[in-house]
Amino acid sequence: MIDPAPELIPEKIYILVVDDEEVIREMLQEAIGYAGYNCSIAENGTRALEILKKERVDVVITDIKMPGISGIELLREVKENHEADVIVMTGFIEDFTYEKIIHLGASDFIGKPFRNKELLVRLKRVLKERNLLVERMRIHQQLLDSMSELQDAHEAVHDAYLDTIKRLAIAAEYKDEETGEHISRISSYCELIALNLGLPRSMVENIRYASPMHDVGKIGIPDKILLKPGKLTAQELEIIKSHTTIGENILADSSAEILQYAHQIAGSHHERWDGRGYPRGLAGEAIPITGRIVGIADVFDALTSARPYKEPYPAEVAFEIIRQDRGKHFDPAVADAFFKDREKVICILQNMNPTCPIQHIKPFQWSDREEGTLSIC
């Protein structure tokens, strides 16, 4: 709520009268003081500028023709370097037009001789307009401050929201000791792929934040199956596969855009380009692009990570597996986007999973659980 405007209090208004005629200076000082305003006087432009440097002045009332600095020069100086309004007065009306003086920045123009009452009416009008301008600036600043506070509050809520999402993803895979690194890698791989595909920035951000929840459905899979070191039975395999639909159910019907992305990812990241994936056997572009992106990131990370049933495969082996499955398991365009920044992929891997070898130096054994069933990773 905007605070009410402050009242225009005469005692707090400061006027400076500048005129080389002492009689006029004293007459105006008396009239302005009688009206309740504070009034200082200066005999020339030089003295006026000295006062302006030392004191706060609301309105300068100046003659035009004065020795030294003229009223026009003083007007320009005040408008360039001070915040005071200026009322110009002169006895040489024929030499100056109202339009010219106003164009130079004066708030009003009055010809001599004039009655004190007329000058005070003009002064009050200038002060009223000045107060309205100050009030508008004050309201504008209050609105800016309020918007800044709302932005800070929005960012705090957004950060808390993203933190909650991350914690939900960690909770789903809490049994895995490196879950935090796993979901961070998935997020980074997916962001890189989405950028290389040229997706809109807003979509890239949503995929970045939603992708860590791809396996949230694993929270409903029994430990004895999830952590089993050996090959899964057909029944156990079906139970493992159900984490996709469990995840969909957990994330369904949210009004939050990120959770809508997460819902789509949970149910589609194990589909295959050739239609042999699960849970629905979707093929090609019938698979949401989000699922196709997360699918390749998830397989790469599963291959290069230590699991209860295997050691990490070297990065070059994982790259080769994905290359061979381009057009079968993986969308060719998504696979190409993944390989486009191979060095960045390795950088993410080394920063977040330094124990994983990059090159195939020594023999390693294929996991019975993964061989021929990479879609289960």
Cα dihedral value 173, 338, 165, 377, nearest 10 = -20
Q: What are phi and psi of 323, to 5 degrees?
A: -60, -45
Please calculate the CA angle 278-279-282 and round it to the nearest 5 degrees: 65
Q: In angstroms, what is the C-alpha Rg of the chain?
A: 38
**End-to-end Cα spacing for the chain:** 55
Q: What is the pLDDT along the chain (377 residues), one digit of tens a residue?
A: 444 444 456 668 899 999 999 999 999 999 999 888 999 999 999 999 999 999 999 999 999 889 999 999 999 999 999 989 999 988 776 666 677 888 888 888 888 888 888 889 989 999 888 888 878 888 878 888 878 887 777 677 667 666 776 666 666 665 554 556 778 889 999 999 999 999 999 999 999 989 988 988 888 888 888 878 778 888 999 999 999 999 899 888 888 888 899 999 999 999 999 999 999 999 999 999 999 999 999 999 989 887 766 778 888 989 999 999 999 999 999 999 999 989 999 998 888 777 777 776 555 555 555 544 444 44
Enumerate the CATH 1.10.3210.10 domain ranges in the chain, comma separated: 173-376
Q: Determine the CATH number of domain 10-141.
A: 3.40.50.2300
Residues of the chain with CATH 3.40.50.2300: 10-141
Spatial neighbors of 127 by CB under 8 A, at least 6 apart, are 8, 13, 58, 59, 85
Domain covering 173-376, topology: Hypothetical protein af1432 (1.10.3210)
Element (H, E) at 108: strand 108-111
pLDDT tens column, 60-75:
999 988 999 999 999 9
Model pTM score: 0.59
Residue 249 C-alpha from the chain's centroid: 32
User: How many whole angstroms separate alpha carbon 169 and alpha carbon 179?
Assistant: 9
